Structure 1
Amino acid sequence: MIVNPCAFTILCFGDSNTFGHPAEGRGRWPIDVRWTGRLQELLGAEYAVIEEGLGGRTTDLDDPDRNDRNGRTYFQPCLRSHSPLDMVVVMLGNNDLKTKFGREPDAVASALDGYIDIIENIAWTRAGGVPVVLLVSPIHLDDDGPGFAERSSEYDTASARKSRDLAPLIRRVAENRKVLFADAASVACAGDDGAHLSRDSHEPLARLIAREVSSAAARLREFR
């Protein structure tokens, strides 16, 4: 835990790719491998990274097989428990594309638009303002991955196609709401199972987010 009371605080809210699930098997990558841990290392003690990842988390869908995966249900108390916050990073969407939900990419983007409403209404900074918001479009599902059919059986080829359509739709939400946007698929990819970040993708993803965080922090300092 960073104990600097002036640290620029970032909440990273996501699914198994924020939790750090390996593409090659079960368990969890160590903190110094996960992109959130690498983000903390890159930014240093002037920043505090809060990791809030959960495998199977959706944007706002109830999973009939697991009753605690609706991200929207947990997001509000999560913001309240971690505020004050300087920045909120949200990377969700691929779990919505599981075949059992039958969801289209535009509905995913619309759900993320609702997350911005929650942040604006619930979260607060030390100065009483609204935290900076960064929407991150997730990596593409890869139906050509060697373990996709076996280990990612809740997805199909249509899911993979839909995942490739998410970035422009989420970018449009970000532009319309005047929040930040980053595309994880521009620097990172899935590993063997076609759904989870490859081990060597965590570092470039951390660097992508670090650039956005550093730029946002610098802009805020200019106005203080």
Structure 2
Amino acid sequence: MPRVMCFGDSNTHGTPPLDVLGAPWQRMDAATRWPVVMAADLGPEWEVLEEGQPGRTTVHDDPIDGPHRNGLTVLPALLESHAPLDLVLVMLGTNDLKMRFGVPAQDVALALGRIGRTIRASGHAKAVMLVCPPLPRAQGALAAIYEGCEARGQGLPAMVERIADNDGFAFFDANVKVKVDPLDGVHFAPEAHVRLGRALAQVVRSTFGAT
């Protein structure tokens, strides 16, 4: 049975679009979240593991929300915990585009490459897919936190694809299937989760079906 770990942030965890900053913790039901949708489409012969954490960055300690949000820091423990894995699907980078970090798209792409190489070097997963997340917009409830993100994120999909090609990782641009919800400019509406889950199931099956 092929085993897939979905390593991501709040959009992998299933946080719904927020209507106000500081809203109580929420999570979409399992049937709605894209990793579960992907698992349903792949069928019972696949095992899909959800590893999404709200606020998770690629390689940055968050000075406000805490160092435990650093994806690179927690990754080795997660890989050991879930090994052996056939595929790790990485969708990170949205939180890197917050104003507090101030990093450009190129640095986000390079950080994703480092994540991918760390997974490969661990020996706990056979393959890596880098998924470029839908680009955030500074609007709605999270506008102040993401001020300037459109400019910082410009060109990110092409940069992540280049990193994936150079390092021999699979690549998928989620921007071709879904957009962020205008309510907060960051999270996905339920129908977007369904579209993304189904699209990724098709890509995973066609690319790794013989794993």
TM-score, normalised to structure 2, is: 0.92
Instruction: Find the counterpart in structure 2 of residue 155 from structure 1.
Output: 146
User: Could you tell me which of 157, 160, 166 is aligned with 1:167?
Assistant: 157
Amino acid of the residue matched to residue 28 of structure 2? Answer: W
Q: CA deviation at 1:65?
A: 1.1
1:178 to 149, 153, 168: 168
Q: Which residue of 2 aligns with 1:94?
A: 94
2:89 alignment partner, SS class:
strand
Alignment gaps of 5+ in structure 1 = 1-6, 125-129
Q: Which one-letter code corresponds to 2:104 in the other structure?
A: E
Whether contact under 8 Å (2:100, 2:145) holds in the other structure is yes
Q: For the Cα contact (< 8 Å) 1:58–1:92, is it kept in 2?
A: yes
Q: Does residue 11 of structure 1 match 2:10? A: no
Question: Residue type matched to 1:205 in 2?
Answer: L
Q: Check conservation: 1:80, 1:123, Cα contact below 8 A.
A: no
Runs of 4+ off more than 4 Å: none
Percent identity of paired positions between Structure 1 and Structure 2 = 36
- The one of 124, 133, 138 aligned to 2:133: 138
42-51 or 206-215: which moved more?
206-215
In structure 2, give the amino acid aligned to 1:166.
Answer: L
CA deviation string 1:58-108 (max 9, x = no partner):
000010112210010001111111010000000000101111111111111
Question: Which residues of structure 2 form unaligned runs of 5+?
Answer: 20-24
8 Å CA contact 1:85–1:123 kept in 2: the answer is no
Mapped contact 1:10–1:49 kept (Cα < 8 A): yes
Provide the secondary structure at the position in 2 that maps to 1:131. strand
Q: Return the alpha-carbon distance in structure 2 between the equivalents of residues 164 and 197 of structure 1.
A: 20
2:107 is the alignment partner of 1:107 = yes
Query: RMSD of the alignment, in Å?
Result: 1.4
Q: Which of 197, 203, 209 pairs up with 1:212?
A: 203
- Counterpart of 1:197, as a letter, is F
Equivalent AA in structure 2 for residue 163 of structure 1:
G
| Counterpart residue number, 1:36 | 35
Q: CA deviation at 1:141?
A: 1.2
Tell me the amino acid that sits aligned with residue 79 of structure 1. L
2:22 corresponds in structure 1 to none
1:29-108 equivalences under 5 Å are: 29-67=28-66, 68-108=68-108
